[in-house]
Amino acid sequence: MAKPLAAASFLAALLLLLIHFSNAQHYQVQVDLANSPAPSPQPQLIDCSEACKGRCEKSKRPNLCNRSCGSCCTKCNCVPHGTSGNYDDCPCYFNLTTHNNTRKCP
């Protein structure tokens, strides 16, 4: 009679131990989630057509300017202010080149 009681006690203790570790692991996951930093927000996309309209308003070839500016704006998500120059506002825009290594962006 002692053996079945000992086996039952052992199984009950084992079950309680498993429940304890399961709860401890669940609690640790909750603590880890609470302490993790919030994800950074996605950068705000600019309106490339409006930005390029201003950039290309004095261009002699506005269609070409708007097309290349739009392509550069889509890749860099920025357009330098003004109608020319000011590339320090947007280094990505300045560094894009064509296959001939000429600057792509107006």
Alpha carbons 56 and 4: distance in angstroms, whole number: 90
Tens digit of pLDDT for each residue in 13-39? 777 767 776 665 555 555 555 666 767
Q: Is residue 88 part of a domain?
A: yes
Structural domain count, the chain: 1
pTM of the full structure:
0.58
Question: Three-state DSSP class for 29?
Answer: helix
Looking at residue 34, its pLDDT comes to 60
Q: Is residue 66 part of a domain?
A: yes
Q: Is residue 26 part of a domain?
A: no
Instruction: For the chain, state the CA radius of gyration.
Output: 32
Q: Is residue 13 part of a domain?
A: no
